[in-house]
Amino acid sequence: GAVVSQHPSRVICKSGTSVKIECRSLDFQATTMFWYRQFPKQSLMLMATSNEGSKATYEQGVEKDKFLINHASLTLSTLTVTSAHPEDSSFYICSASLDTQYFGPGTRLTVL
C-alpha cells in the first residue's frame, strides 16, 4: 500500500515553455501532498505544501507564480513550472501524506 505515482518521469522542454507534473496517490486519499526539488548530490528541499481544496503554502524563496500548484482532488496534485528556464532543471519529487510521507518516483526536468 501507500503508492504514489508521478507523470511524466522525465521531460525536456524549451526555455520559456510551461511544464505540468502530476502526482497521484494510487491506493489512498491524501489531504496533503508536498513538492520537493532535488539538485544533483544534494538533499531534498521542500518547495510547497499542497492542500486539497485550498491554496498551496510555499516555502520561503519559492516563487508561487512560477511554480503553480493545484490540488483538485484527494488523489491528485499538479505542479506547473511556468516559463521554465535552464536553472529550473532539476529532479522534482512529490510526496503524499498518510501516516507519514510516501514519495513518488520523481520527475527529471531538463530545460534547454
Partner 1 sequence: GQQLNQSPQSMFIQEGEDVSMNCTSSSIFNTWLWYKQDPGEGPVLLIALYKAGELTSNGRLTAQFGTTRKDSFLNISASIPSDVGIYFCAGSRNDYKLSFGAGTTVTVRA
Contact residues toward partner 1 (CB under 8 A) are 4, 6, 32, 34, 42-46, 49, 59, 91, 93, 95, 97, 99-106, 108
Nearer to partner 1, 17 or 77 (CB): 77
Nearer to partner 1, 17 or 64 (CB): 64
- Minimum Å gap between C-beta 98 and partner 1 is 10
Mapping DSSP onto H, E and C, the string for the chain reads: CCCEEEECCEEEECCCCCEEEEEEECCCCCCEEEEEEECCCCCCEEEEEEECCCCCEECCCCCCCCEEEEEEECCEEEEEECCCCHHHCEEEEEEEECCCEEECCCEEEEEC
